[in-house]
Amino acid sequence: MSKQALILTCALASLVGCAGKMENPTDYYTYRDQPLVKQVEDGMTEQQVKTIGGPPSSSIRRAVNPGICNNYILNQDGHQQAYHVSFDGSGRVEEQGFMTCAQRETAEREKAGSKKVDRGGGY
């Protein structure tokens, strides 16, 4: 086997291996007209959100910042997409997006961790 053929075979094998592990990216276009995506705005109450989107699939108490987060599953043409609506300590929409509440909490933890100030040990 020639050196070029061996390199090509290895490259193709690694691409096939990666393709099996890749997650499908969120298709924002498909879900843009869903009521939760289109109508929910920052500052709305939880009751206003429930009027638009119905009851959530689940709800969790936020750990990083006070408040709660509601998980929804959007359905469109046989496809499903996770979506969350997060409420601050006063019960108003603070954030929403195409991820679960658990994923949002992880992102908040990472964000809070990166804001820590290095007080330094000094030399």
Indicate the pTM of the whole model: 0.71
Residue 9 lies in a domain: no
Q: Give a yes or no: residue 89 inside a domain.
A: yes
Work out how many domains the chain is built from and give that number.
1
13-22, 41-50, 67-76: the lowest-pLDDT one: 13-22
pLDDT of amino acid 71: 98
The residue with greater pLDDT, 11 or 28, is: 28
21-68 confidence digits (pLDDT tens): 334 567 788 899 999 999 999 999 999 999 999 999 999 999 989 999
pLDDT of residue 5: 44
Higher pLDDT, 27 or 120: 27
Report phi then psi at 67, rounded to 5.
135, -170
pLDDT score, position 113: 82
In a domain, 8, yes or no: no
CATH classification of the domain holding 80:
3.30.1450.10
Label residue 16 by pLDDT band (50, 70, 90): very low
pLDDT by residue (tens digit) across 87-105? 999 999 999 999 999 999 9
